[in-house]
């Protein structure tokens, strides 16, 4: 079994050019916050270009960072990004909905909830062969991670879970990283997923703690944190992020980042989704997320979660190529590829290949076919 992209590669890159900024990270790399620095007044603040993970961000410090002049915010995000990652590389992940619709949860963004009326074809758990064929296709198109999503509230202890474990083993045998998003998991279920070779478990916080119950009422923020803890304890890496554009404030978004940054260690992957407003869901009429708000969120995530992969996730079909490029410049280094996310459209492999080529960027090392 071979995985070629299990961790961010800390490729040394040329140092940022010594332009003068309000905090000159070049000439005083170990200096504390200078006057005018957003981290000033935050007792835990240190070198603003440090990639040392911090778990004690205050909301005020996050807000000051987020609201910096965009060139300054981008400079800081890039300074951190190139220390911890190769800025020319993007991880390609492919999603598959292995069980679709009829979900008992009431997540107001989600077309798969049984509480809403989205035009969706329900599907029972797919068979293993279908899933593994899709994974092999994704691998051959350059994806290194295959993510299987199920419209479940939680994992059951039944034959279906055994089947998912077999799918995880099958994806690993293809030489790919395997990710699952199956709802809540118990410690024992997380251990079984780990034993099957699962690379990552996706479970999003979705938004900040104060806005959460405006979006979902059928499970709590603490339920989500418990699942994340169960997954971490089992030794599976964490993929956790959220959604922009559900009516939340900037502070709600930053509060979510604050909770993610409080986790020790930080989640290895942080998906930043822009809401896909689906007809038949309560959020169908939400306007699209402003491009600069997306870029600011990605840059802030890059700064506070320096070694995590920041994934530009749902919502790319309504983003221009230029907006996506700005997100890469802000530190996004992972995308979902393929024509479909779980149930909604995605730009597709050709468009992504062209985008990366035009930007002179590369997909992270593909897995060799046949391994």
Contact status: 151 vs ligand SF4 (CB under 6 A)? yes
Site for ligand SAM in 301-320 (CB under 6 A): 314
Token pair belonging to 337: 């590829």
Half-sphere exposure of 291 (CA within 13 A, CB side): 13
308 binds ligand DTB (CB under 6 A): no
| b/e map 160-172, b = 16+ CB within 10 Å | bbebbbebbbbbb
Closer Cβ to ligand DTB, 39 or 341, answer by number: 341
Based on the shown chain and the rule CB under 6 A, indicate whether residue 143 belongs to the binding site for ligand DTB: no
Which stretches of the chain are assigned E, i.e. beta strand?
A: 89-99, 145-150, 177-181, 200-202, 237-239, 242-244, 269-274, 309-312, 334-337, 362-363
Question: Is the CB of 61 or the CB of 205 nearer to ligand DTB?
Answer: 205
Whether 93 is catalytic: no
Q: Which of 202, 207, 324, 334 binds ligand DTB (CB under 6 A)?
A: 202
Q: Which of 230, 273, 334, 337 binds ligand SAM (CB under 6 A)?
A: 273
Q: How long a stretch of residues is the chain?
A: 371
Report the residue number, 45 or 276, with the smaller CB distance to ligand SAM. Answer: 276
Exactly one of 37, 42, 86, 105 binds ligand SF4 (CB under 6 A); that residue is 105
Residue 112 — φ and ψ, nearest 5°?
Answer: -90, -5
Tell me how far CA of residue 71 lies from CA of 16, 22, 188, 214, in angstroms: 13, 11, 47, 34
Q: Binding residues for ligand DTB, how many (CB under 6 A)?
A: 17
List active site positions: 103, 107, 110, 147, 179, 239, 311
Q: Which residues bind ligand SF4 (CB under 6 A)?
A: 103, 105, 107, 110, 112-113, 151, 153, 183
| Interface contacts to ligand DTB, rule CB under 6 A | 95, 111, 147, 149, 181, 202, 204, 241, 271, 273, 276, 313-314, 341-344
């Amino acid at each position: 079994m071979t995985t070629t992209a299990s961790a961010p590669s800390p490729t040394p890159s040329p140092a940022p050019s010594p332009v003068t900024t309000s905090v000159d990270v070049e000439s005083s790399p170990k200096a504390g916050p200078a006057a005018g620095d957003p981290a000033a007044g935050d007792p835990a603040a240190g070198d603003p270009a440090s990639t040392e993970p911090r778990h004690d961000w205050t909301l005020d410090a996050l807000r000051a960072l987020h609201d910096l002049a965009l060139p300054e915010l981008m400079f800081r995000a890039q300074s951190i990004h190139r220390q911890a990652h190769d800025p020319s590389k993007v991880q390609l992940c492919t999603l598959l909905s292995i069980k679709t619709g009829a979900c008992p949860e009431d997540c107001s963004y989600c077309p798969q909830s049984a509480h809403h009326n989205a035009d969706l074809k329900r599907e029972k758990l797919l068979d293993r062969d279908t899933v593994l064929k899709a994974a092999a296709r994704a691998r051959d198109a350059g994806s290194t991670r295959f993510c299987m999503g199920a419209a479940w509230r939680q994992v059951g202890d039944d034959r279906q879970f055994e089947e998912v474990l077999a799918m995880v083993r099958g994806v690993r045998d293809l030489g790919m990283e395997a990710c699952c998003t199956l709802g809540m998991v118990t410690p024992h279920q997380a251990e079984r997923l780990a034993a099957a070779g699962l690379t990552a478990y996706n479970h999003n916080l979705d938004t900040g703690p104060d806005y959460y119950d405006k979006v979902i009422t059928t499970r709590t923020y603490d339920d989500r944190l418990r699942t994340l803890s169960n997954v971490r304890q089992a030794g599976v890496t964490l993929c956790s992020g959220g959604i922009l554009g559900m009516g939340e404030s900037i502070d709600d978004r930053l509060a979510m980042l604050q909770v993610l940054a409080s986790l020790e260690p930080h989640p290895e992957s942080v998906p930043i989704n822009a809401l896909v407003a689906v007809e038949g869901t309560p959020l169908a009429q939400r306007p699209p997320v402003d491009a600069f708000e997306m870029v600011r969120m990605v840059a802030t995530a890059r700064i506070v979660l320096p070694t995590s992969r920041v994934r530009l996730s749902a919502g790319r079909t309504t983003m221009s190529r230029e907006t996506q490029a700005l997100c890469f410049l802000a530190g996004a280094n992972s995308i979902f590829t393929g024509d479909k996310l779980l149930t909604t459209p995605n730009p597709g492999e050709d468009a992504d290949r062209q985008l990366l080529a035009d930007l002179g960027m590369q997909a992270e090392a593909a897995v060799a076919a046949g391994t």
